[in-house]
Each structure stands twice: as C-alpha cells, then as structure tokens.
C-alpha cells in the first residue's frame, strides 16, 4: 500500500449497536412520577456519548444518577452503559437491585437474565440471580422448587466448568440439603468431583462428611444402593463365612441394612469416590500453574500487562485443554474473552478454533467482537469481512465494510477493501465508482487525493484497459498536487508502457511537466534518466539522448552545477 496512513480522515466512531443491549422500556407515567431529570444529567450524558470509549465518563454518569436517587436517570444510564460494557457484571447486579428496591421484581429478574446472556460465565451473577429467586418466589408452591432447581441446572451448565465455580456448586448442594433431598445433594457432589476447580479438596472432604452423616440408603440412588448392598453382603459373607438364615426377602430397594454391613458399604462407597478424587486431583495439578498465573480474570478497561497476556496465550495453547474436550476449550476461551475482551488477538484465536467446526459460531464471535467490544477496532471488522468473502457471503462482507466506513469514516484501508471486494467479484464498474467517489471526497486533502487517484488510475489501466481514462485521472490529480512525485512517476509509467510507435509525445510531455514541477532535484534527475533511457530505446533523434546524457553525467559528478544542469535539462526537453 502507498505511504498513506490507514486512519486518514478518521475521527471518533459513531456509537456501535450492542448485540446484547438491554432495552428496558420506561413504565407509563414514569417521567411524571420521577419528575424532571437531575440538573447535571444531560451534561454528563452528553460527555459519555461524545466519547463512549472513556470509561470514567460513564462511571461519573452512573454515580451521579445513583446519588440523585432518580429511577429514570439511573435506568437510562445503566441501559446505555451496559450496551457498551456488558461484561461488567457488578453493574448488572446494581441494575437488578435497583429494580428490586423499586418494587419491580419481575424486571429485576429480567435484568439478571439479560445480564447472564451477555456474560454466562459469571458465577457471581448466577448466584445473585438465584438468591433473587429465592427471596421473591413463594417456596410453599411446588413449582417454585422446580424453578430454583432449573435455575441451578442452567447455572452449572453455563458456568459449572469454570475453575472458580466452587461457590455456585456449594450453593446448589446446600439448597438441596435444605430441601431434605440428600440423594440429590449426593448427585451434585458426584458431578463436582469430576470438575477441576480451585477448592476441589474441600468439596471432597464435605462429601465424605455428608456420606458418613447419613445412612447409605438415604444418600444414594436406588441403583447404586442395591449394587453396593449386594457387593457388601458378598464381602461380608466371605469374611464371616456365614449368613443370617431364616430372613424373609424383601422387594428390591426395601431390604434392611444389616448393621454389620453398613461400615463395609461406606468403605466401598468411599473407595469408589477416592478413585474419582485422585483422577480429579491429577487434572487440577495440571492446570494449577496456569490458573495461578492469571491475576485478573474479570473485565476491566485498564490494559493487561504483557505477563498476563502471555499467561492466557500459554493456557490456550496447552495441549491438555484440547484433550479435555471441546466444551472445556470453549469455556476457557470464553473466560479469556472476559479478561481480554479488548484484545483482538484472542478473538481471532477463538475464530480460528471455531471456524473448522461451525461457520455460524465463528460468525457469532465476530459479531460479538465487532458490534460490542471492539466496535472501534477497524482491523477486526476487516477480518470479519474477509471471513465472509472467503466463505462466499459477499452480501454480508459488503454490509460489514459499509457499516465500518459509516462508523469510522475516512479510513483509506476500508475504502480500498470495498473496491477490492467488488473487483474480485467481477464488478469493475462498482470498484471504479467507489474509487472515484473517494477521489472526489478527498479533494480537500491533497496527499489522500493523490493516493486514491493513483489507485483509480491503476485499475483503469490494468483491468479496465482504458489508458485514456487513467491518464485523465492522473492529470487532474496533478493539477491539485503538482509537487507529488508519485503522481508524476505513475503518469510516466503509464506513458512508457504504451506503444512507442503510437504517441512518443506523451513521454516527452510527462518528463517536461516533471522537470517544471516543484520537485526535489533528485526526483527531477530521476525523470531525466528515465526519459533518457526511453529516448535511447525508442527515440528517433540521437541529439536529445546525447545532450541529456551529458547533463545527467554533469549533475551526478558536479553537484555545484546542479541548478544550472536542471535549467539546461528543462530547456533541452522543451526544444523537442
């Protein structure tokens, strides 16, 4: 690409629409109930929207709205803020609490649900949501318990594989115990003993206490209990070499536990879980150093240091996580994209992982990155457009590029990508139109105008096979930027590439124009040399080549006479 910044003319981008924006409608007559907005609200609102990337402007707005205890102001500020920073789980909690305190319980739940769509790995937000349900549902109704259990299941399905999900699992277990369902609690314990978490050993100790505090029949499923009871009896029979006789057999699941068999059942039960625990400990040990290296697992706008970025790269590249299965890999990527949401390299890495498996899922990652977290990072949008074009969706590729150019106007790279997309699609007229439009819009910026003019001229010459149009574009550009050496050089290249038997005057005029232009001495001598070479190869007069060659030689050998040589060179070219 020419030496033109890819951010030419770029100003602050317009606000990006967040895919997961929470759109809470105002209640009827809410404005009247709250009265007018606080005095400084409009000023702070404008500051935040004028510079949406300034996090402190948003926090000032939120703090002011909260201090004023104004429901409408707080709600509007939170809705707008969370549309741009949906990974700030603490503000989702604040929003839910705001609605709950105002008496809008259903809206508080809706806020939590929307927040969990934006950040499903947030253990804190899941716990907040479940506690909200526990505090608002009538637990005397049978459907309430099912609602809570469903919420727990959704929570562990979404965030249960997180290394720091211990509190969520513990809350689930304690709730099942409060319901008196010890078998369900055992089932949850069995699940957490297969998930590498930070407090894995604590879970196991609590599980052993749980098993020892209750009869096996009360904590085990019927199937496991029957198998364990039978195995214990067989062992007991072998050890004691005798069985109790004369006992009536009871239906399966209703046998009485011989007192002497219960210790053996517990022993076998713990031995089975011990094997699971040893495997779990091995998995935790493999991950421990990676997890310890991560110091900031949550989202923040402050940059991460290089050590933290390297830690995430190392964790994602670890072969062990791949061996753990696709689900664990995705969980790790999602965790990474919370802490590293503002770093496009990790979004790109995630896309590269998903693309071979599902184009729709890879596309979804691009959409999250470009529409929410990296709305102002044009390189991510360009990757998205390339992705869509590579997979044949030219309509979506055009939409992505057009949207980017609308939000961040003036980027030369974006306009060139749009023109290139149309060119590759065989739509040369559209490509030409885009470049011509860029030339027109850049007239007030001479170097950018020259840059686009050169691109347009090359398209017209090389692909459209129309040297006349290309020549016209360059000549018009030279009227605006006569001191641009690249314009002169491209025009010369156009002329020398033509048939020398047709119009040799074009080269002569080009060199003459360059020598008369306000260019550097070195550039002028370059044009003289190119003209001399052309005259020697295709010229019909030896006089010019000889005279010009003499002064080119004197220019190089006698720098003090350069100014004189330039004048003589110009006069020499003008004679013919």
Compute the distance between CA of residue 115 and CA of residue 20 in angstroms, rounded to an integer.
9
The per-residue pLDDT for range 322-342, each reduced to its tens digit, is 777 899 999 999 999 999 999
- 564 located within any domain: yes
Cα(452)–Cα(442) distance, integer angstroms: 8
- Can you give the pLDDT of all 576 residues of the chain as single tens digits? 433 433 443 333 333 333 333 344 434 344 445 668 999 999 999 999 999 989 999 999 999 999 999 999 999 999 999 999 999 999 999 999 999 999 999 999 999 999 999 999 999 999 999 999 999 999 888 899 999 999 999 999 999 999 999 999 999 999 999 999 999 999 999 999 999 999 999 999 999 999 999 999 999 999 998 888 888 888 767 766 544 444 455 555 554 455 667 888 888 899 999 999 999 999 999 999 999 999 999 999 999 999 999 999 999 999 878 777 899 999 999 999 999 999 999 999 999 999 999 999 999 999 999 999 999 999 999 999 999 999 999 999 999 999 999 999 999 999 999 999 999 999 999 999 999 999 999 999 999 999 999 999 999 999 999 999 999 999 999 999 999 999 999 999 998 887 776 666 788 888 888 888 888 888 888 888 888 888 777 776 655 544 444 344 444 444 444 554 455 444 444 434
Helix boundaries (H) for 26-88? 30-34, 41-50, 55-67, 71-84
| Cα three-residue angle 428-433-439, rounded to 5 degrees | 130
Q: Name residues whose C-beta falls within 8 Å of residue 184's C-beta, 6 or more positions apart in sequence.
A: 176
Reduced to 3 DSSP states, what percent helix, strand and coil does the chain have, rounded to the nearest 5? 70, 0, 30
Q: How many whole angstroms separate alpha carbon 121 and alpha carbon 407?
A: 30
Radius of gyration of the chain from its Cα atoms, rounded to whole angstroms: 37
- Domain annotation covers residue 505: yes
Closest CA to 87 of 300, 273, 230: 300
Residue given tokens 């005095």 in the structure block? 39
Q: Which of 300, 315, 338 is the last residue of a domain?
A: 338
Q: Is residue 133 part of a domain?
A: no
Tell me if 528 is assigned to some domain.
Answer: yes
Structure tokens given for 336:
């990474």
List Cβ neighbours of 69 (8 Å cut-off, separation of 6 or more): none
366 lies in some domain:
no
**Helices in 369-411 by DSSP H: which ranges?**
378-390, 394-407
Range of the domain at 571: 499-576
**Does pTM top 0.85 for this prediction?**
no
Which own/partner pairs from 56-60 qualify as long-range (CB within 8 Å, at least 24 positions apart)? 58/84, 58/85
Rounded to whole angstroms, how far apart are CA atoms 509 and 506? Answer: 5
- Domain assignment of residue 314, yes or no: yes
Domain final position from 338, 360, 381: 338
What distance in Å separates the CA atoms of residue 518 and residue 130, rounded to the nearest whole number?
A: 75
Query: CA 554 to CA 572: how far, in whole Å?
Result: 14
Total number of domains constituting the chain = 2
- Given 338, 368, 403, the domain boundary residue is 338
Helix axes 428-441, 446-458, angle to 10 degrees: 160
**Cα separation, 465 vs 322, whole angstroms:** 53
Residue 450 lies in a domain: no
- Residue pLDDT, tens place only, 459-489: 999 999 999 999 999 999 999 999 999 999 9
Residue 509 forms part of a structural domain: yes
Length of the chain as a residue count: 576
Do the Cβ atoms of 116 and 104 come closer than 8 Å? no
If DSSP codes are grouped into helix, strand and coil, which group holds residue 294?
Answer: coil
């Amino acid at each position: 690409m020419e030496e033109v910044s890819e951010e030419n003319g770029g100003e602050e981008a317009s606000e990006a629409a967040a895919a997961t924006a929470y759109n809470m409608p105002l209640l009827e007559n809410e404005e009247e109930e709250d009265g007018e907005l606080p005095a400084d609200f409009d000023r702070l609102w404008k500051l935040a929207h004028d510079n949406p990337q300034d996090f402190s402007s948003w926090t000032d707005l939120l703090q002011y709205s909260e201090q004023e205890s104004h429901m409408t102001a707080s709600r509007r500020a939170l809705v707008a803020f969370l549309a741009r920073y949906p990974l700030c789980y603490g503000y989702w909690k604040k929003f839910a609490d705001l609605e709950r305190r105002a008496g809008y319980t259903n809206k508080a739940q809706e806020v939590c649900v929307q927040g969990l769509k934006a950040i499903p790995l947030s253990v804190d937000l899941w716990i907040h949501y479940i506690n909200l349900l526990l505090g608002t549902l009538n637990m005397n109704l049978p459907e309430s318990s099912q609602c809570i259990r469903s919420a727990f299941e959704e929570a562990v399905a979404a965030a249960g594989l997180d290394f720091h999900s211990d509190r969520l699992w513990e809350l689930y277990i304690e709730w099942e115990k409060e319901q008196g369902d010890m078998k369900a609690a055992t089932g949850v314990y069995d699940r957490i003993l297969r998930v590498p978490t930070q407090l894995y050993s604590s879970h196991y100790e609590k599980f052993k206490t749980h098993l020892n505090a209750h009869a096996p029949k009360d904590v085990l499923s019927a199937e496991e209990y029957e198998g364990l009871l039978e195995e214990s009896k067989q062992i007991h029979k072998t050890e004691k070499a005798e069985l109790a006789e004369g006992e009536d057999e009871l239906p399966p699941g209703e046998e009485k536990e011989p007192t002497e068999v219960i210790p053996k059942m517990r022993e076998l039960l713990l031995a089975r879980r011990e094997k699971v625990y040893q495997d779990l400990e091995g998995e935790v040990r493999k991950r421990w150093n990676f997890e310890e290296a991560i110091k900031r697992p949550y989202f923040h706008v402050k940059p991460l240091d290089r050590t933290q970025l390297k830690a995430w790269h190392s964790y994602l590249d670890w072969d062990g996580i791949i061996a753990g299965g696709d689900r664990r890999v995705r969980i790790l990527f999602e965790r990474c994209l919370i802490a590293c949401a503002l770093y496009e390299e990790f979004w790109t890495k995630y896309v590269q992982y998903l693309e071979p498996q599902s184009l729709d899922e890879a596309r979804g990652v691009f959409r999250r990155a470009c529409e929410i977290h990296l709305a102002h990072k044009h390189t991510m949008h360009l990757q998205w457009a390339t992705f869509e074009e590579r997979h044949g969706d030219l309509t979506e590729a055009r939409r992505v590029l057009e949207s980017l150019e609308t939000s961040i106007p003036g980027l030369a790279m974006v306009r060139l990508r749009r023109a290139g997309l149309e060119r590759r699609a065989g739509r040369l007229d559209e490509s030409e139109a885009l470049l011509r439009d860029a030339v027109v819009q850049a007239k007030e910026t001479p170097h950018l105008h020259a840059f686009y003019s050169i691109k347009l001229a090359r398209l017209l010459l090389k692909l459209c096979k129309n040297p006349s149009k290309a020549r016209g574009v360059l000549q018009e550009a030279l009227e605006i930027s006569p001191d641009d050496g690249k314009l002169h050089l491209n025009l010369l290249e156009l002329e020398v590439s033509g048939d020398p038997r047709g119009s040799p005057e074009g080269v002569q005029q080009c060199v003459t124009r360059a020598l008369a232009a306000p260019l550097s001495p070195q550039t002028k001598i370059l044009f003289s040399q190119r003209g001399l070479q052309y005259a020697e190869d295709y010229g019909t007069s030896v006089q010019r080549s000889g005279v010009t060659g003499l002064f080119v030689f004197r220019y190089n050998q006698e720098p003090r006479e350069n100014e004189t040589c330039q004048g003589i060179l110009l006069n020499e070219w003008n004679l013919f």
